[in-house]
């Protein structure tokens, strides 16, 4: 028998609601088997078709079939737990998750937000950046906590805002950066780069 240590490769589950361009960027940079499943709250999410075409397991937990946010969150958590992921990646997942869900996956859930947090949390980030007249805009990958778009920041990428920008041109420029940033953070996370930060957060909670 070999004395080589058994290498345990970390795996992630991606949550999506829409087209899944960030999901695609992450999958392109992943090794086979790293993505355990793609789960959507919307049966019609374009991301599901793309994931299936790549041979990735997909699951739909349709939020409209549940009488309350708690029941949906519970079913979603159960579906995720079946894959025992080391990391939960929110990639355009358009549901606010309750405290029990967030606590259950504490220290192992990340999200990408299309602004340079703490600027412009919430929705309409590109329009609000234009209205505010900022010179720079961008995207942020952060750990998910129960504060909306408020968890510890892992990485950011910025882009200039030009005088003739509109929402479409600015969001396109930011999205290009999202597709570079998010896969890098996911791989860094799986390689253990954020382990110390992750553990310090879990210690603070107990």
**Interface ranges with ligand GRF (CB under 6 A):** 18-23, 91-92, 112-114, 139, 175, 178
The least distance separating ligand GRF from the CB of residue 99, rounded to whole angstroms, comes to 20
| Distant-in-sequence, close-in-space partners of 81: CB < 8 Å, separation ≥ 6 | none
Coil vs helix vs strand at 69: helix
Residues with Cβ within 8 Å of residue 174, at least 6 apart in sequence: 114, 126, 137, 138, 139, 159
CB 35 to ligand GRF: min, Å: 14
Q: Which is nearer to ligand GRF, 153 or 175 (CB)?
A: 175
Cβ-proximal residue to ligand GRF, closest one: 92
CB 203, min distance to ligand GRF, A: 28
Nearest to ligand GRF of 85, 92 (CB atom): 92
State the nearest-atom distance from the C-beta of 56 to ligand GRF, in Å: 15
Give the gyration radius of the chain's Cα atoms.
17
Crossing angle (nearest 10°) for helices 46-53 and 21-28? 20
Nearer to ligand GRF, 20 or 183 (CB): 20
Q: Strands of 61-175 (E only): list them.
A: 87-90, 109-113, 136-143, 153-160
Positions marked catalytic: 113
Sort strands 35-40 and 87-90 into parallel, antiparallel or unpaired.
unpaired
167 CB contacts (<8 Å, ≥6 apart)?
126, 127, 130
Nearer to ligand GRF, 18 or 121 (CB): 18
Query: Which residue's entry shows tokens 């990485």?
Result: 155
């Amino acid at each position: 028998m070999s004395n080589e240590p058994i290498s345990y490769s970390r795996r992630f589950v991606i949550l999506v609601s829409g087209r899944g361009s960030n999901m695609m960027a992450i999958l392109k940079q992943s090794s086979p088997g790293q993505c355990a499943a793609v789960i959507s709250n919307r049966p019609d999410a374009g991301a599901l078709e793309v994931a299936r075409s790549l041979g990735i397991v997909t699951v739909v937990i349709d939020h409209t079939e549940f009488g309350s946010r708690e029941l949906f969150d519970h079913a979603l958590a159960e579906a995720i737990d079946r894959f025992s992921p080391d990391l939960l990646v929110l990639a355009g997942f358009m549901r606010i998750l309750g405290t029990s869900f967030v606590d259950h996956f504490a220290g192992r859930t990340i999200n990408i937000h299309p602004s340079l947090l703490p600027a412009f949390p919430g929705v309409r980030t590109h329009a609000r950046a234009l209205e505010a007249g900022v010179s720079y805009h961008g995207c942020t990958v952060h750990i998910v906590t129960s504060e909306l778009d408020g968890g510890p920041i892992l990485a950011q990428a910025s882009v200039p805002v030009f005088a003739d920008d509109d929402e479409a041109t600015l969001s396109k420029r930011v999205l290009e950066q999202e597709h570079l940033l998010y896969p890098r953070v996911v791989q860094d996370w799986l390689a253990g780069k954020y382990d110390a930060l992750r553990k310090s957060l879990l210690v603070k909670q107990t």
